[in-house]
Structure 1
């Protein structure tokens, strides 16, 4: 089994409880709005990171992040972008098992045409009354198993 921590919208804040919770994962996906490049450095000390640019990632190294990317892992293709409104392709026809996105800060798991759509929510500064959350994605030979995890803080 392959385990992926799925994060988004840190906005310059990486909470210590998150780094503790994701230790031991095989890979980390960050769906944009990193905020501070030091967060990427810290995540890379835990596991390899796939990251895309969010709407606030406009300066320094963050400005060089791709707008979208494809992660091939454990025999699956995962499409990653920041804002789902920018999705302009047929993910099933493209062969993607999952689409990972952020931007709204609203955690969500849904399926369309046998493709998993996963928004982990935000672990950055609290926005409105939305929960603070991230996701774990476990990949087995037969399935992708998403789990949303809320943190209290």
Structure 2
């Protein structure tokens, strides 16, 4: 099974559509929060259209699981046909236990402790807009970055793809689909 990993779209329809090109063969999409609103500290992202992004999410035709981020509001649930889960989403897909949360209230060490507490194999977070994959013991922490408002030194718009059959996860550059970071378990 292929699973699309995305976070921090911040209302950018353009970024969502670019990500969907990479997610064509993904059966499930996990969204790590900050879905529709750009937030008071962020600029408007290119292609900002939260109303149309909500429409795209509502008509996706794939399994979509979203968690609330620090820029998401209660009103978002009024325009979305998929619940914005909070504070996290926990699932088992193809025998892989995955914990998804925005991550803004936790240090990296606290995230690993939370993952161990819930016997997760993977934790997916967002918030920092910086792609990363970290391992601690048998636990993998993944941040797919942001497709709309990338941060960090290189400011690369990014998303992730998790392949449970190949047992790999890749963070992809949306500008050229090159792999930025990859890991296996």
TM-score bucket of the superposed structures, by smaller chain: 0.7 to 0.9
Shift in Å, 1:94 = 2.6
1:50 aligns with 2:65: yes
Superposition RMSD on alpha carbons, in Å? 2.4
- Residue in structure 1 matched with residue 2 of structure 2 by the alignment: 3
Count of aligned positions: 150
Given the two structures, how large is their TM-score scaled by the length of structure 2?
A: 0.71
- Residue in structure 2 matched with residue 114 of structure 1 by the alignment: 138
Given the two structures, how large is their TM-score scaled by the length of structure 1?
A: 0.85
- Residue in structure 2 matched with residue 102 of structure 1 by the alignment: 126
Q: Say which SS state the counterpart of residue 91 (structure 1) adopts.
A: helix
Question: Structure 1 unaligned runs (5+)?
Answer: none
Q: Radius of gyration: which is bigger?
A: 2
- Residue in structure 2 matched with residue 71 of structure 1 by the alignment: 91
CA contact (8 A) 1:50 1:71 kept: no
- Residue in structure 2 matched with residue 39 of structure 1 by the alignment: 53
CA contact (8 A) 1:23 1:46 kept: no
CA distance in 2, matches of 1:96, 1:41: 32
- Residue in structure 2 matched with residue 130 of structure 1 by the alignment: 155
CA distance in 1, matches of 2:54, 2:172: 21
CA distance in 1, matches of 2:156, 2:77: 25
- Residue in structure 2 matched with residue 19 of structure 1 by the alignment: 20
Task: Summarize the Cα distance change of 1:62–1:37 in structure 2 as closer, same or farther, 3 Å threshold.
Answer: farther
Task: Summarize the Cα distance change of 1:145–1:84 in structure 2 as closer, same or farther, 3 Å threshold.
Answer: farther
- Residue in structure 1 matched with residue 101 of structure 2 by the alignment: 81
What are the superposed Cα offsets for residues 56-99 of structure 1, whole Å, 9 maximum, x if unpaired? Answer: 10141348621211022111110000016435644235321100
CA contact (8 A) 2:130 2:151 kept: no
Task: Summarize the Cα distance change of 1:38–1:72 in structure 2 as closer, same or farther, 3 Å threshold.
Answer: farther
